[in-house]
Amino acid sequence: MDIKLPKGTKDIFLAEAEAYEQVESALINVAKLFSYAAIRTPIFEHTELFTRSVGDSSDIVRKEMYTFTDKGDRSLSLRPEMTAGVIRSIVENKLDVTADLPIKLYYVGPAFRYERPQLGRYRQFHQFGVENIGISSPYSVAETISLGVTAFTVMGFKQVTVKLNSLGDASTRDAYRTALKSFYEPHLPNLCPDCRQRFQINPLRMLDCKVPADQTLAKKAPHITAFLSKESQSYYAQVKTALKELNVAYTEDPQLVRGLDYYADCVFEFHMLSDKGLNYGALGAGGQYNNLVKELGGQPLKSVGFAFGLERLMAVLADSGRLDNVKPFTDIYIISMMPETDLYALKLSHNFRHSNFKTELNLEHKSMKASIKSALKKDAIYAVIIGDQEMKVNQVTIKNLQTQEQQLVPVNEVVHLMQHLTNQPGHHHHDEEAPDHGHKE
Ligand code: HAM
């Protein structure tokens, strides 16, 4: 077959798919620790939602959206991020009026951007994100950032850096845009065509230009921090105080402006080199958005949130060998040796599964050697072998595939024994005898 994956996408299967699920569930657990609830919104929305929120001066909306017209002549776009859809949903369902504030939601799912594929950059990627809607305290911003750092800790990383900046309020950004314009004006003829457009629509975007000559110039541009209003300054200072209190290591980056138009006040990114020294770009990013809910027709609610890029997180985890032991398959592998033992093997697999064991059942009647080989390929720890001899005496063989030890066990005790061998908490009898393990109950 010569039909291949679309450029910039990837298949995720077997061990890697299992690793995604484990990482996602670890991230979801952290979100729940911070008292967030789940939300799922459509992967396509009306295009206008994104032009009004992510913003028509952003590269995402100008160049990277998968936009199409459906059979009813509507302009729809695959979501390039989730914040816009979450806020649309909150306003549409009137949660901004009826729900207790703040509304704290997390999500996991695919997002789509037509970008040039490179290290850590895909056209379909996955985000895990949180949105904390209807906050006012700067400490809530710090709390949300620390959720992100906690997620890294849970995944086993300590050296994550948080890059931090403040974009101030609307008047701050107006003053800063004017300053940027006078800085860039004399250089206009030498800038890339994109930057000449950005100069007109939103000069802030010029700081993010990827053209090397423009980057060099951007380094000399004035900093937004010099334009912060009194209120924004003191709000930002309090965010930093709270971060210190929470032991969050951050570095201030006065050039961090972020590529989405809805941000105000604090913005941040999570960065880390992988153990192989690779830089996959920001592993996650976010900030405050104080006008978005109102802009989309709801209450004026200050908010903060961020999203992680799962492909980048997984790449960093893989580089450090943390995914090496992820096993997609089974714990117990039942081998039925002949047609006469099949029905019993089927029944036993049923009992194991109802006792919470991951169980594979092989009814192919291959040689013992071939069956054990299959069991190992399926990551099994124990093989349970049911053959002629065993059946005659109402026993089965349990074989530990790591130590090669095996024993004959009466059929009515096999599930119970397996619970004992694997220390499964369901094994009440032994837990009672061993008070040390009592906390597992
Ligand atoms: P963002 O910075 O555009 O922010 O994306 C967040 C994260 O998604 C990035 O840090 C990166 O890890 C990942 N990401 C973005 N584009 C790609 C790509 N093409 N391939 C792989 N990974 C990618 C947002 O999307 C905001 N909605 C975050 C937010 C939530 N702000 C407030 N609340």
Instruction: Give pLDDT tens digits along the chain (441 positions).
Output: 799 999 999 999 999 999 999 999 999 999 999 999 999 999 999 999 999 999 999 999 999 999 999 999 999 999 999 999 999 999 999 999 999 999 999 999 999 999 999 999 999 999 999 999 999 999 999 999 999 999 999 999 888 999 999 999 999 999 999 999 999 999 999 999 999 999 999 999 999 998 999 999 999 999 999 999 999 999 999 999 999 999 999 999 999 999 999 999 999 999 999 999 999 999 999 999 999 999 999 999 999 999 999 999 999 999 999 898 898 899 999 999 999 999 999 999 999 999 999 999 999 999 999 999 999 999 999 999 999 888 889 999 999 999 999 999 999 999 999 999 998 866 554 433 333 433 433
Domains 14-169+229-319 and 332-421 share a fold: no
Amino acid 376 reads L
From ligand 1's centre to the CA of 61, what distance in Å? 14
- Contact status, residue 185 vs residue 217, Cβ threshold 8 Å: no
Predicted pLDDT at 271: 96
For the CA of 113, the nearest atom of ligand 1: 19
Predicted pLDDT at 432: 37
Mutate to test the pocket of ligand 1, among 9, 23, 61, 127 (most ligand atoms within 8 A of CB): 127
User: Can you name the residues that pair with 44 across neighbouring β-strands?
Assistant: 78
Helix axes 230-245, 138-154, angle to 10 degrees: 40
- Pull the structure tokens for residue 289: 């958005």
Domain 332-421, second-level architecture: 3-Layer(aba) Sandwich (3.40)
From ligand 1's centre to the CA of 206, what distance in Å? 19
175, burial (CB in 10 Å: exposed 0-12, middle 13-18, buried 19+): middle
Predicted pLDDT at 439: 41
Nearest CA to ligand 1 atom 15: 309
Predicted pLDDT at 185: 96
Predicted pLDDT at 426: 60
Predicted pLDDT at 436: 41
Evaluated on CA atoms 9, 43, 297, 94, the torsion sign reads: negative
Q: What angle do CA 42, 258, 179 make, to 5 degrees?
A: 140
- Contact status, residue 359 vs residue 353, Cβ threshold 8 Å: yes
For the CA of 305, the nearest atom of ligand 1: 33
Nearest CA to ligand 1 atom 23: 309
CA torsion, ordered 289, 291, 292, 294, to nearest 10 deg: 150
Helical residues (DSSP H) of 326-413, grouped into ranges: 339-354, 368-377, 388-392
Measuring from each residue's beta carbon to the nearest atom of ligand 1, which residues come in under 6 Å? 81-83, 113, 115, 120-122, 125, 127, 129, 131, 260, 282-287, 289, 305-309, 311-312
Distance CA 438, CA 142 (A): 38
Amino acid 371 reads S
| Residue 425, CB-side half-sphere exposure with 13 Å CA sphere | 6
- Pull the structure tokens for residue 285: 């990013």
Mutate to test the pocket of ligand 1, among 66, 81, 268 (most ligand atoms within 8 A of CB): 81
Q: What is the CA radius of gyration of the chain?
A: 28
Beta strands 103-112; 37-38: pairing state:
parallel
Superfamily of domain 14-169+229-319: Bira Bifunctional Protein; Domain 2 (3.30.930.10)
Distances (CA, A) of 46 to 58, 79, 205: 17, 9, 24
List the domain boundaries for the chain.
Answer: 14-169+229-319, 332-421
For the CA of 284, the nearest atom of ligand 1: 10
Q: What angle do CA 202, 257, 53 make, to 5 degrees?
A: 60
Predicted pLDDT at 427: 56
The terminus-to-terminus CA distance of the chain in angstroms comes to 52
Q: What does pTM read for this prediction?
A: 0.93
From ligand 1's centre to the CA of 308, what distance in Å? 6
For the CA of 115, the nearest atom of ligand 1: 19
User: What DSSP designation does 223 have?
Assistant: P
